[in-house]
Amino acid sequence: MQLTVFGATGGTGLQVVTQALRAGHQVRAVVRDPAGLTIDAHPRLIVHRADVTDPAAIAPALAGTDAAISAIGSRTNRQPTAVCADTAASITQAMRDSSIQRLVIVSASGIFTDGDDPFTRALAKPVLKRILRHPFADMLQMEQIVRETDLHWTIMRPPMLTNGPATGAYRTEVGRNVFGGIRLSRADLAHCILRGLDEPAWTRATVAVAR
């Protein structure tokens, strides 16, 4: 499969690229600075340097691809941000212009409470939402942008991410959070993202994933 990965220099994006190459996929990694892509040269990896907020700039990386994956996230918690919303608007526009349909994009389960245990819903989440109010507001706007398209999208909602190893021992829920799921390794998230490309039931759906 030919995949275009946005946010390839981040922790999750690096895992997606690495695991996709290991699985035999062709990967186009879209980055602002190629120096941030800490992966050795690979015959099935093409690096595209582009501003992800510019649909025309990323269009060449989408031409002929089978699916797009966005693991773009905010790098700040303290200031208002629109990085997720702005890049989602650009990616979805470029996908429509390029007639590409399949999109998997990463959000966060912390914004939502459906499916949570009572402690998490009543005590932990209100605190988390205050601390992360700026990135969460950005992700909510991102989700709205994606939902309003006619693309074949999947919104992935992980909890707190760690740098632990891939285990394959994660759980998923469609349309609600994973009960008691408070952590997930970026490696397992990447595995779930790649798995989700071929899950028909996850098309135009939100999917929570956690240990």
Q: Strand 205-210 relative to strand 152-157: parallel, antiparallel, unpaired?
A: parallel
The domain of 138 spans: 2-210
- Is residue 111 within 8 A of residue 70, CB to CB? The reply is no
Decide if pLDDT at 189 tops 90: yes
Give the pTM.
0.95
DSSP 50: -
Decide if pLDDT at 76 tops 90: no
* CATH number for the domain that contains residue 166: 3.40.50.720
- Write the DSSP assignment of 61-112 as a string of letters: HHTT-SEEEE----S-SSS---HHHHHHHHHHHHHHHHT--EEEEE--GGG-
pLDDT category, 118, cuts 50, 70, 90?
confident
Cα 26 to its chain centre, rounded Å, is 18
Number of separate domains in the chain? 1
pLDDT category, 84, cuts 50, 70, 90?
very high
DSSP 35: G
